[in-house]
Every structure is written in structure tokens, then in C-alpha cells.
Structure 1
Amino acid sequence: MQKLFILFGLCILFSCGNNTSDKLIVKGNIKGLKKGTVYLKRANDTSLITVDSMVVNGSSNFELQSEIESPEIFYLYLDKNDNEDNRIAFFADKGITEINTSRKRFYYDAKIKGSKQQEVFEEYLDVASKFNNNNLDLVKESFDAIKLNDTALIAKNEKAHKNLEKRKYLYTVNFAINNRDSEVAPYLALTDLYNANIKYLDMINDTLTSNVKASNYGKELQRFIDKIKKDEK
């Protein structure tokens, strides 16, 4: 009986020592990768820090880990010594995030399966990309109008640009409010609405659930709003 108790105690100790429920685990496959280094990074103030890395040699599979307090943006980097965009941003949470992509089109071929925040984030990015494409079209039209010295078309494009920018702001505000129970909401307020009218930031902040308010992004948004109001006095 004493041996059974000792064995049971060792099992508990072993399971506790290998508990990954409070960690972020990022794993997947990079098709076509023979050699290279994969990095897992996160934001630290205004810079990115590496929290884990893995040298790939032969197998294209990888697995990286990090401590994580609350859902936030992480970055998967691939060092393959070229000038291409080899960074993938994703919204991470505790548990497993799976990222499958290719060496040749590391960013563009990325398929991410993981947190519920990532699903919300991808929904936002899908619409935001359409706004960005429309903006690029307007920039091209404005450039052509300037070359032709067409003042009427220049004025028309400037007005269209302002309307597009306003529509994107309002869409982002509404999206954040509709997803008040997701950490994506304060993140968007901090990144895509940082220069918006304070009333929009207040609107989003006031609707956040208690859990989201207590997250890192929720606390950061509150500090950001407090600073703006203090500077305005």
C-alpha cells in the first residue's frame, strides 16, 4: 500500500511538471523547408523579443512554446536569408495553435488553426483588406490625376479617401463592440483606432466584458484612454 502511495505521488509530481495547459504551443509544418531557423516572437513595448526558436534540419515540422497570461498577438518568423516577408502574425491563447505553410510563400500560404480570438481576427482582416485595396485604387487614381493636373478629379479623390477612411473607422468600432467578449476588441482599438476620436475608444472600452477588461490588452487600452484624457486637460 505504501508503494502505491509513493507511485501515485510521483505520478502527480510528474504530471504537474509537464503541465502545458498554461502555455502556448505553436506547431506545424513548413512545406519545402530543409534547413532554417524558426522563431516565436511577441511584442515587448516597441520591440519584438524571441521567446523560443528551433533549428530545422531535414524535417519541415516544428514546435515552439511560450508562457502566456492572456490572449495576444504572437509572430512566427522564418530565417531563410532573403528579403521576403517571412513573418506571420496570429492571435494566440493558451493551448495549441497549428500553423501550416510553405517555405516559398511563408506569409501568403499560412493556414492557422488555434484560438477563438484568431477566428475573430481573421474575420476582421478579411474586411480590412478590402478597405486597403480600395485605398490603393484611390491612391493610384490620385497620382494619375496629379499627373494630368486634373484639379476636379484630385478634389473628388480626396473626398472619396476621407469617406473611405471614415467608413473603415466606423466598421472597426462596430466590429470591436460586436466582439466585446474577445481580446481582439481592445487590440483593434489600440492598433487601428489609436488616433480616432476619444469617444470611439471610450465607447469600445465601456462595452468590454469584465474578462476582456482584465486582459493585457484590456488594461493597456484603459491606460491609453486615461493618458489621452490627462493630456487633454
Structure 2
Amino acid sequence: MKRFVFILSLLFVASCAKDNSNFTLKGSIKNLKKGTVYLQRIDDTVLVTIDSLKINGEPEFELHTNLEGPEVLYLALDKNGKESGIIPFFADFGTTEINTTLKNFYLDAKIKGSKQQEKLEEYNKMMDRFKDKNLELIKNNLEARRSQDSLLMDSSYKEYNNLLLRKYLFTINYAMNNKDSEIAPYLAVSEISDASVKYLDTINNALTPEIKSSKYGKALQKLIAERKKQ
């Protein structure tokens, strides 16, 4: 009887947590038979679990939490006691759907949800081009070192610095063009936190009042204050 009451109380708590949530993450992981999925967020630079679900037979899942505002969350998969991948996504009030596969958990992820997520995906597509170019420069630099070609090494080094500058300028410009979205301060603190304070200030000053008061808007202002102290 006591065991029955205990299980009933757990179900009641879980039901209350679901009813009190303002965000739902649902989806499926193709070919997953057994495992555990976790909904996580970063708290003081550490990933913490805010909901989880054991999967046994059915690949569908549904996770819940309560958001104070739009923020980047993470869907993690643990299979056989080993982490099988993690998918970052920009969550907002309502529902986000993630469908992926067990084989390529991160790469196959299709995310449908917030406007901020659409902006993040648009930004990431451009960053993929920078990554491809960076790999090309690394290859050129290795070939130059093997052949001891000092001119080619110098050229690849200059190209790398130019690429890095272009990446930073693109991020700044993208943030400025999306000053009414949480994506702007998020990119400032996560991608170019070591940029010149004047550029961070420029982004911050362009933000709308609503975005300035958001999670990442406050984080950007804190970052700027700390950088100015230095």
C-alpha cells in the first residue's frame, strides 16, 4: 500500500510539473529503442538537467520546463550509460519539435520552433562557410610547413587573421541587424565575447528595451561592465 501511494505521489508531482510548464520539447529519435533523453540548460557555466525521460521501445519523447524568457537549451541523449550527443537550440514559450536519428544524433537534427532558432540556424549556415575556409587554410599551412615555404606560411597566416576578422565583423553586423531579437546579445556573449568593448557597446546600445532586459541582454551588459573594469 505504501509503495502504491509513493508511486502515485511521483505521478502527481510529474503531472504538476507538466501543468506548470510554459515550454514543451517534443520529437523522436529514429532507431532508438532504449536510452534516456535530457533537457538541459547552462547554469553558472555548468550543464544541469531540468527534465528527463527514459525511452523503452518508442522513439518519441516529450520534455517540459518553465522559461523566464527565450534561452538556449540542450537536448542530450544517453544510451547504455554513454553520452551519444547533444543538440543546442533556442527555446521560447510554447513548443519546439526536434526530430533526429540515433546514428547521427546532432547532424540529422531537424528543429522546428522559435523565431530565435530560425535566426540561429541562419547564422550557423554562414559560420559553416567560415569553418570550411578555416580547414582549407589549416591544410595550406601544413603543406607550407612540410615544404618549408616561408612565403606560403606567411600568406596562410595573414589569410587566417583576415578570416577571423571577417567572422567577427559578420557576427557584429548580424547582431545589429537583429537588435530586436534575443539572438543579438546571445551571439555577442557566446561568439565574440573577446571582441573590442566598443563593438560590444555598439551592439548593446542598439538593442531594444525588451531585449536589453532579457537573459542574454543582461549577460551582455554584465560582460561589458567586467571588460571595462579590466
Are the counterparts in 1 of residues 78 and 84 from structure 2 also a CA contact under 8 Å?
A: no
Q: Please, which runs of 5 or more residues in structure 2 have no aligned partner?
A: 1-15
Change (3 A) 1:198 1:17: closer
Are the counterparts in 1 of residues 30 and 100 from structure 2 also a CA contact under 8 Å?
A: yes
How far off is 1:118 after superposition? 0.2
Q: Secondary structure at the match of 2:95?
A: strand
Change (3 A) 1:154 1:82: farther
Are the counterparts in 1 of residues 71 and 91 from structure 2 also a CA contact under 8 Å?
A: yes
1:118-157 alignment, distance < 5 Å: 118-157=117-156
Distance 1:81 1:17 in 2: 27
Structure 1's consecutive aligned runs of 4 or more residues displaced over 2 angstroms after TM superposition are 16-20, 81-85
Q: Secondary structure at the match of 2:50?
A: strand
Change (3 A) 1:147 1:84: farther
Q: Deviations over 1:38-70 (max 9, x none)?
A: 000000011100000000001110000111111
Change (3 A) 1:18 1:28: closer
Q: Name the counterpart of 2:63.
A: 64
User: What TM-score does the superposition give when structure 2 sets the normalisation length?
Assistant: 0.90
How far off is 1:81 after superposition? 4.0
Distance 2:132 2:167 in 1: 12
Change (3 A) 1:81 1:18: closer
Q: Deviations over 1:154-212 (max 9, x none)?
A: 00000100110111100000000000111111011001111111111011000011111
Distance 1:194 1:165 in 2: 14
Distance 1:214 1:19 in 2: 27
Distance 1:113 1:221 in 2: 27
Q: Name the counterpart of 2:93.
A: 94
Are the counterparts in 1 of residues 36 and 55 from structure 2 also a CA contact under 8 Å?
A: yes
Change (3 A) 1:152 1:83: farther
Q: Secondary structure at the match of 1:104?
A: coil
User: What TM-score does the superposition give when structure 1 sets the normalisation length?
Assistant: 0.88
Change (3 A) 1:224 1:93: same
Q: Deviations over 1:52-111 (max 9, x none)?
A: 000000111000011111111100001124877511000001110000011111111100
Change (3 A) 1:164 1:116: same
User: Is 2:22 the partner of 1:23?
Assistant: yes
Distance 1:191 1:123 in 2: 16
| Counterpart amino acid of residue 216 in structure 1 | K
Q: Which is greater in Rg?
A: 1
Q: Deviations over 1:9-28 (max 9, x none)?
A: xxxxxxx99756x6210000
Q: Name the counterpart of 2:31.
A: 32
Distance 1:222 1:93 in 2: 21
Aligned-pair identity in percent equals 51
Are the counterparts in 1 of residues 76 and 83 from structure 2 also a CA contact under 8 Å?
A: no
| Counterpart amino acid of residue 220 in structure 1 | A
| Counterpart amino acid of residue 196 in structure 1 | A
User: Is 2:144 the partner of 1:117?
Assistant: no
User: Is 2:206 the partner of 1:214?
Assistant: no
Q: Name the counterpart of 1:8.
A: none
Q: Deviations over 1:95-147 (max 9, x none)?
A: 10000011111111100000100000000000011101101110111011111
Q: Secondary structure at the match of 2:106?
A: coil
Aligned length: 215
